């Protein structure tokens, strides 16, 4: 059977680190409050001259290097982002150009924090149908440019970064086993960015019509996120007749520590199987899962045939899971 196997991972974090202590200087907040409510201690912030396509390109180069492939070996570049360089063209087009991946077609995918899981599922369809042989799936975000740095209820959560994987079609049992995606658009108003779309096209200019920032009802998002991530994880386990004890790792979207620990607890997952780096990078939205995956992979944490479950929830609401045999 043809399966989509990850043959390379890469990631990139901007150099500048913003700690909770730094935030204490400009906001009515404290390291103690942020750590106890979110588990986040610091986040990385893109430099003035850095854009989402730059972060994505570095992560992609590192993934290609690990896979021992050239950019010209890639058929499709898929960038999961909601903070792309522009509304259009797609950030994936800029990445294609920066990489020199001349043979690849490229597009962006907008599913907020679930973007990488949606990207894996989409790439898997292309690979198994034979419409592509090698695909770069990248999650890349610069949330620091869309958060309101005076709103302590949201700005403390997010960070910038990018992660990438190279997927290749292979015969055998290893690779993506299943994907389960879900959407409930009726709840979009609980988590969204008001400005920059057709409803508020003036955004980007100064003045009262400039509404670029994130709006979130944190308590409500928390409740729905835990429930939805548990359901998506269980769906994957049931569909593949896998017991939670057989998982090598759960790599969830790194929203915040409390969401992740509550999800793991409800699933009955031992704490050492929960992959978490939110303390060091914050919530990097679509970049969070491939960032955590690359970190785990590069420190030798993964062995062939390990069962790895990716699980995400975010704005839309959009959520889902992908189960993979490494």
In the annotation, is 113 catalytic?
yes
Strand partners, 193: 214
Q: What does the per-residue mask of binding to ligand ACO show for 142-181, with x meaning CB under 6 A?
A: ----------xx--xx------------------------
Give me the least distance between CB of 217 and ligand ACO, in Å please. Answer: 8
Handedness of CA 283, 284, 285, 288 (dihedral sign): negative
Residue written as token pair 């988590």: 191
In the annotation, is 44 catalytic?
no
CA 163 vs. chain centroid, Å, equals 8
3-state helix, strand, coil in the chain (%, to 5): 40, 30, 35
Tokens of 313: 């929830």
Give me the least distance between CB of 244 and ligand ACO, in Å please. Answer: 21
| 232 near ligand ACO, judged by CB under 6 A | no
In the annotation, is 215 catalytic?
no
Catalytic residue among 93, 230, 253, 256: 253
| 219 near ligand ACO, judged by CB under 6 A | yes
* Rounded distance between C-alpha atoms, residue 124 and residue 92, angstroms: 18
* Rounded distance between C-alpha atoms, residue 324 and residue 120, angstroms: 10
| 255 near ligand ACO, judged by CB under 6 A | yes
| Residue 70 CB coordination number (10 Å) | 11
User: How many residues touch ligand ACO (CB under 6 A)?
Assistant: 25
Stretch that binds ligand ACO, among 47-55, 58-66, 235-243, 256-264 (CB under 6 A): 256-264
What is the number of alpha carbons within 13 Å of residue 222 lying toward its C-beta?
Answer: 12
| 25 near ligand ACO, judged by CB under 6 A | no
Catalytic residue among 93, 113, 155, 203: 113
- Cβ proximity to ligand ACO, 193 vs 256, nearer residue: 256
| 107 near ligand ACO, judged by CB under 6 A | no
| 314 near ligand ACO, judged by CB under 6 A | yes
SS3 at position 259: helix
Residue 118 is given by DSSP the state H
Residue nearest to ligand ACO (CB): 218
* Rounded distance between C-alpha atoms, residue 169 and residue 129, angstroms: 10
| 29 near ligand ACO, judged by CB under 6 A | yes
Contact 163, 294 (CB under 8 A): yes
Please identify which residue in 283, 284, 297, 321 interacts with ligand ACO, judged by CB under 6 A: 283
Catalytic residue among 20, 256, 283, 297: 283
Residue written as token pair 């690990």: 66
CA nearest 74: which of 168, 188, 190, 209? 168
- Cβ proximity to ligand ACO, 63 vs 112, nearer residue: 112
Annotated active-site positions, please? Answer: 113, 253, 283
Interacting residues with ligand ACO (CB under 6 A) = 29, 33-34, 37-38, 113, 152-153, 156-157, 191, 216, 218-219, 221-222, 225, 253, 255-256, 258-259, 283, 313-314
């Amino acid at each position: 059977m043809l399966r989509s196997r990850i043959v390379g991972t890469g990631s990139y974090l901007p150099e500048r680190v913003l700690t909770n202590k730094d935030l204490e200087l400009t906001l009515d907040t404290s390291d103690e409050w942020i750590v106890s409510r979110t588990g986040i201690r610091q986040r990385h912030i893109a430099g003035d001259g850095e854009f989402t396509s730059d972060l994505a390109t570095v992560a992609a180069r590192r993934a290609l290097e690990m896979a021992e492939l050239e950019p010209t070996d890639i058929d499709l570049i898929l960038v999961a982002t909601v903070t792309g360089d522009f509304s259009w063209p797609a950030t994936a087009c800029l990445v294609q150009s920066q990489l020199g991946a001349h043979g690849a077609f490229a597009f962006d995918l907008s599913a907020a924090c679930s973007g990488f899981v949606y990207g894996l599922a989409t790439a898997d369809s292309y690979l198994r149908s034979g419409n592509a042989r090698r695909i770069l799936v990248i999650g890349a975000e610069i949330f620091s440019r869309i958060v309101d740095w005076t709103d302590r209820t949201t700005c403390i959560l997010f960070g910038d970064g990018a992660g990438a994987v190279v997927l290749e079609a292979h015969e055998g049992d290893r690779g993506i086993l299943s994907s389960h995606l879900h959407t409930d658009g009726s709840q979009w108003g609980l988590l969204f960015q008001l400005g920059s779309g057709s409803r508020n096209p003036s955004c980007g200019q100064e003045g009262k019509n400039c509404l670029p920032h994130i709006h979130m009802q944190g308590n409500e998002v928390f409740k729905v996120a835990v429930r939805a991530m548990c359901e998506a994880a269980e769906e994957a386990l049931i569909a593949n007749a896998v017991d939670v004890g057989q998982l090598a790792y759960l790599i969830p979207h790194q929203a915040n520590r409390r969401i992740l620990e509550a999800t793991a607890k409800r699933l009955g997952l031992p704490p050492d199987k929960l992959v978490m780096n939110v303390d060091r990078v914050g919530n990097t939205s679509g970049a969070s899962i491939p960032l955590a995956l690359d970190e785990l992979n590069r420190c030798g944490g993964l062995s062939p045939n390990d069962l790895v479950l990716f699980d995400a929830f975010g704005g839309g609401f959009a959520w889902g899971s992908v189960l993979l045999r490494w």
